Amino acid sequence: MAKRVCTTILMLVCTHVFAAEPSFGPIIDGYGPAYPINDRDVPLEAGFVYRAVFDAAEYPDEKSLNTSLVSIARYLNMHGRNGVSVSNMNIALVAHGPALRALLNDSAYRARFGIDNPNTDLLNKLASAGVSLYVCGQSMAFGKVTKDDLSDKAKVALSAMTMLTVLQSNGYALLR
């Protein structure tokens, strides 16, 4: 009997510990699910300014969200949920190669893939949260993409290499 009671208690405790589900928000609602980590050993430094540039080069499935954009939403949400204000997060995306397709406007996306850009809503939310969205001009030229094809949230850089160099020189950590 005691063994059965101990087993039941252990199962209840383990279920509670592992029952946490990822959730959205508070900064980007509907995207970027993150888990709560209540027992972490490394506290977040109060007042720290997070500078991160996400290097996005891949986009394997044009019918789904770009994983780099979802990662940015997760980054914002998990830090926001833990007390970091948006004003203390300077976040940028540099899209090149196939990933620049995620920053096409709906019209250009529809012309290429037959559907509206599934990333449009997320791009708008990221831009509203202050994320800088850069596109590689070299990838645009190679891919025959014009500035008119891009989301109005995107900024064209000379190249991804140039933009990554500038941002890292200005204290941004490179994330992939």
Q: What is the DSSP string of 29-75?
A: TTS--B---TT-SSPPPTTPPEEEEEEE-----TTS--HHHHHHHHH
Mean pLDDT of 36-59: 96
Q: What is the CATH number of the domain that holds 64?
A: 3.40.1260.10
* Domain of residue 131, residue span: 21-35+49-175
**pLDDT (tens digit per residue) in 122-174:** 999 999 999 999 999 999 999 999 999 999 999 999 999 999 999 999 999 99
Q: Which residue has the higher pLDDT, 17 or 124?
A: 124
- Please say whether the dihedral angle defined by the alpha carbons of residues 160, 130, 80 and 25, taken in this order, is positive or negative: negative
Tokens of 143: 């891919």
Is 158 within a domain? yes
**pLDDT (tens digit per residue) in 67-87:** 999 999 999 999 999 999 999
Is 132 within a domain? yes
What CA–CA distance (Å, rounded) separates 63 from 147? 22
pTM of the model: 0.87
Is 2 within a domain? no
Alpha helix positions (H), the chain: 2-18, 67-81, 106-113, 120-128, 137-142, 160-169
Residue 174's H or E segment, with its range, is: strand 173-175
